[in-house]
């Protein structure tokens, strides 16, 4: 069975307005070279035009290859409700696990790469593993800071999250500017 890699990242952490978006991209390991050839990078390092172009190319591969995306758009109400009893790190653990679950089924040949949101990257990885549940214990989880700038699958997830959040912000802007 082919190894599969899932990259996970977020956009809009601690937003004053708009959603927090988490994306998980699930690809066969052998397809990493496609992402490298596309020139994916941390979404913060790319112009809006480049992000949008890469986003469309990534989506086209999900249609033509065996790629899947898990996308969680956490609106302000959910963030506010969570913050009554929790914190942003615990919310992101939950959102990361939801995005992963939407992108894949657990399996032995699955490796998950997390752009850690917690100051303690290893703790973040352990907490996401715990949130995923028992069926995911055979998966390898790598949790590091700034993984979106060094791992192409996480960088691609970063692009998906950022473009999706930008789209949600544009919709919100249009809604607020209506007469």
| Residue 2 burial (C-beta neighbours within 10 Å; 0-12, 13-18, 19+) | exposed
Q: How many CA atoms lie within 13 A of 7 on its CB side?
A: 29
Supply the pLDDT for residue 2: 81
Supply the pLDDT for residue 108: 77
Supply the pLDDT for residue 16: 80
CATH number of the domain where residue 156 is located: 3.30.420.10
DSSP 8-state class, residue 30: G
**Domains contained in the chain, number:** 1
Q: For the chain, which residues score pLDDT lower than 50?
A: none
Supply the pLDDT for residue 179: 59
Supply the pLDDT for residue 177: 82
In a domain, 151, yes or no: yes
In a domain, 1, yes or no: no
Residue carrying structure tokens 């020139």? 39
Supply the pLDDT for residue 165: 97
Supply the pLDDT for residue 175: 86
Question: Percentage of the chain with pLDDT > 90?
Answer: 87
In a domain, 179, yes or no: no
List the domain range (segments joined by +) for residue 15: 7-172
What size, in residues, is the chain?
Answer: 179
Supply the pLDDT for residue 1: 65
């Amino acid at each position: 069975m082919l190894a599969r890699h899932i990259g996970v990242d977020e956009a809009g952490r601690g937003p004053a307005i708009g959603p927090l978006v988490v994306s998980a991209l699930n690809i066969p390991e052998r397809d990493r070279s496609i992402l490298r050839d596309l020139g994916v990078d941390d979404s913060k390092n790319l112009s809006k035009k480049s992000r949008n172009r890469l986003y469309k190319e990534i989506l086209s591969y999900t249609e033509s290859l065996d790629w899947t995306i898990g996308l969680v758009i956490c609106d302000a109400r959910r963030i506010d409700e969570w913050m009554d009893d929790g914190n942003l790190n615990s919310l992101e653990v939950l959102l990361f696990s939801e995005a992963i679950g939407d992108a894949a089924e657990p399996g032995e040949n699955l490796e998950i790469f997390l752009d850690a949101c917690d100051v303690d990257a290893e703790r973040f990885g352990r907490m996401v593993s715990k949130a995923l549940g028992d069926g995911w214990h055979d998966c390898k989880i790598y949790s590091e800071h700034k993984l979106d700038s060094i791992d192409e699958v996480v960088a691609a997830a970063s692009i998906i999250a950022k473009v999706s959040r930008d789209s949600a912000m544009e919709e919100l802007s249009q809604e607020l500017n209506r007469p």
